[in-house]
Amino acid sequence: MVRKYGGRVRFVSENWGTSSLAARFGLKRYPVVFVDEVLVAKPKDFGGWDHQGGRYAPWRDPANHEKFKKDLSRMIDLALRDSKELARKYQVRPDEDIEIASLPAFSMKDIRGQAIESSNLSGQVVIVEFWATWCPPCRSTLDWLGEVKRRYGDRVTVLAMAIESEDAEVRQLTGSLAPAVRVAMGSAELVKAFGDINSVPTMFVFDREGKTASVFYGAPKDLHQSVGRLIDSLLK
């Protein structure tokens, strides 16, 4: 796409959690696409966990890739001619992030066949990590969550919910995790109970009363430190 414009266009990829543009728009979820400083595509355009409902969903369909390329080219062409006109005509309104207020009720089994009941988690800090086997940043966070569980023991419950992943791959990648990290396959119903998940990794932290303490989107460099400080504060 960039090569097409012969040096007049530059592609910039910003790490999630450190983007000044994302902060300006109050964006927490991703992916998002800007042309200059105009938001032209937001997470819902690419569909939710089930890849339905967006302009370019299902994203795995090559036809939607081509549609996105054509739309993006039109935006870039307009920006090169008149960026003010681009902003006036095509500035997309960000989604309102509606974060859940507390740990949803659920009943399921982990990959070892053991029951996980949300009703049994009262009095503990609960970490729910949504991840996928194809997501490289997710893997380092899973290892770190194993360390978290070893450090805090029964005061913290860690649930690693795999989405868009094959059962065999999940078992292979999580075989070295601390057994106390509960790994499960996340169903569509479970994902929707958590407010729908547009992307991975997404991590929820709930306090000992089950209230949402924070939600972390993506894998910024300070993710582990930020979550660690939050856990310490919740256990005081």
How far the first Cα of the chain sits from its last, in Å, is 51
Q: How far is CA 117 from the centre of its chain?
A: 23
Domains along the chain with CATH numbers: 3-90 (no CATH), 107-235 (3.40.30.10)
pLDDT at residue number 103: 96
pLDDT digits (tens, 9 = 90+) for 44-80: 787 765 545 678 877 778 898 999 999 999 889 989 9
Largest CA distance in the chain: 60
Which pair of tokens denotes residue 105?
């009720």
What's 104's DSSP letter? P
Q: In terms of Cα–Cα distance, which of 97, 106, 102, 52 is closest to 217?
A: 97
Q: Is the pLDDT of residue 178 over 70?
A: no
Q: Which residues contact 223 (CB under 8 A, 6 or more apart)?
A: 17, 141, 203, 216
User: 62-81 and 83-90 helices cross at what angle (nearest 10)?
Assistant: 130
Question: Rounded CA gap, 158 and 142, in Å?
Answer: 10
Question: Rounded CA gap, 31 and 38, in Å?
Answer: 14
Mean pLDDT of 146-154: 91
pLDDT at residue number 167: 92
Q: Which residues contact 104 (CB under 8 A, 6 or more apart)?
A: 118, 190, 193, 194
pLDDT level of residue 226 (50, 70, 90 thresholds): very high
